Structure 1
């Protein structure tokens, strides 16, 4: 998947108003993912990504990932992106959804193995969630 296509999909899935917002959400999510998973795994993931996105995942090769909860993951993304945690959670789900389509199933499974069970809710995205009132 090419960079522009990835960002366009994130914008659509997260229902963001602009490409810039989608780029910020993607960068914040991937940089936080890099902190959380084993550095070599982040590098392997980067190898399947467009160069513009791969740079957010590189630089921790040979290092262990930091252990932090899903809530901490959302908080870190929220801070990097400059949005409320509720919005950051939606953005993370969108980025993970597009990421799953962009890389091989085996590579995506390797990423998920690096995350604890509490992250499971970030991998399920409901297309009807915006309509519930």
Structure 2
């Protein structure tokens, strides 16, 4: 089993990674980090730089946790990708970061976090920065 973290290089993503690393260490499980840009789009802020990934690897190594980072592009909705990877990796928990959005913003733009919370067939740990 693994702990799956949805990661982007933001305060919310960093909080999710920290919580996921602690959870993986506590459970004695490997950590899988998914950091995927939308397919056929230019590289943007959601894609973590190599230096950020190196730092995540170093922190996991120091904590004694095996880390796998997945950065393959996704198509469709990111929530679908996270739920699929959770099934593929037999994740015991999914860890995501939350940012504040108004109810109207969620209605108009949708919410990846909300979809993961509703559609995942396993526990979801949602953390704030």
TM range (shorter): 0.3 to 0.5
Q: TM-score, normalised by structure 2?
A: 0.38
Larger helix percent: 1
If asked which structure has higher relative contact order (CA below 8 Å, sep 6+), I would say: 2
